[in-house]
Amino acid sequence: MTKLLNIAVVALAYILAHGLTAVLITPLQSRLLPDITVFASLVYLPHGVRVLSTWLMGRIAFVPLCIGAFLSEVLFTPAEVSSATDPVILLSIAVGAASALLAFEGLALAGYRLYARQQREIHWKWLLLAGTLASVINSVGQSLVFSGDMLPDHSFAVLAVYALGDLIGLIVTTFALMLIFRWFRIVGAKR
């Protein structure tokens, strides 16, 4: 039952983060960078969910991340832009969900076991490093997935926006969660 609850929480967190990105960030960004906004966001909050859920859950996080990303596509992507069942979108979902896992596993191969259960203390700089590596993996993967759909002149810009947007999304998500947890501790201490 606990695993199902964890899967549901991660999927819902992903949907919420994607929704905030779609409703708040995408409309503003589309005014500045309309050709790139179709592919990538300058502040992609779900990347923080990817990294933090993979850090906490390990390999199993891939499943709820795929579920959350698929449902986010269904809920927030207009039908005229794409369909969640398009093979390119399904591949994009898998690449995004695997990016943090590949980063954590790559760092583990290099001798840095960063999963939450493998450390006594949280080292935020290592978590951000894993998130940065995941961002690079995701940006390269997404650029390959969408290479047939974007203009060649925009490919480097899309790659850069993916990487930057994932990293900024991770930082914003991590900072927001740190503030929320701090608030919980303060409220709990007052009782």
DSSP-assigned letters across all residues of 131-160: HHHHHHHHHHHHHHHTTTTS-GGGHHHHHH
pLDDT at 178: 79
pLDDT at 150: 57
pLDDT at 124: 80
pLDDT at 47: 93
Amino acid letter for position 102:
L
Q: Residue 39 above 70 pLDDT?
A: no
pLDDT at 84: 77
Q: What is the pLDDT of residues 74-131, one digit of tens each?
A: 999 887 767 778 899 999 999 999 999 999 999 999 999 889 877 667 778 888 999 9
Q: Residue 15 above 90 pLDDT?
A: yes
Provide mean pLDDT across the span 39-67: 91
Q: Nearest 5°: phi and psi at 44?
A: -100, 95
Provide mean pLDDT across the span 134-141: 92
pLDDT at 1: 67
Which letter does DSSP use for residue 59 in this model? G
Q: How far apart are CA 131 and CA 109, in angstroms?
A: 16
pLDDT at 183: 82
pLDDT at 105: 97
More confident residue, 77 or 67: 67
Average pLDDT, the chain: 86
What lies within 8 Å, CB to CB, of 14 at 6+ separation is 46, 49, 50, 53, 64, 65, 67, 68, 69, 72
What percent of the chain is modeled with pLDDT above 90?
A: 43
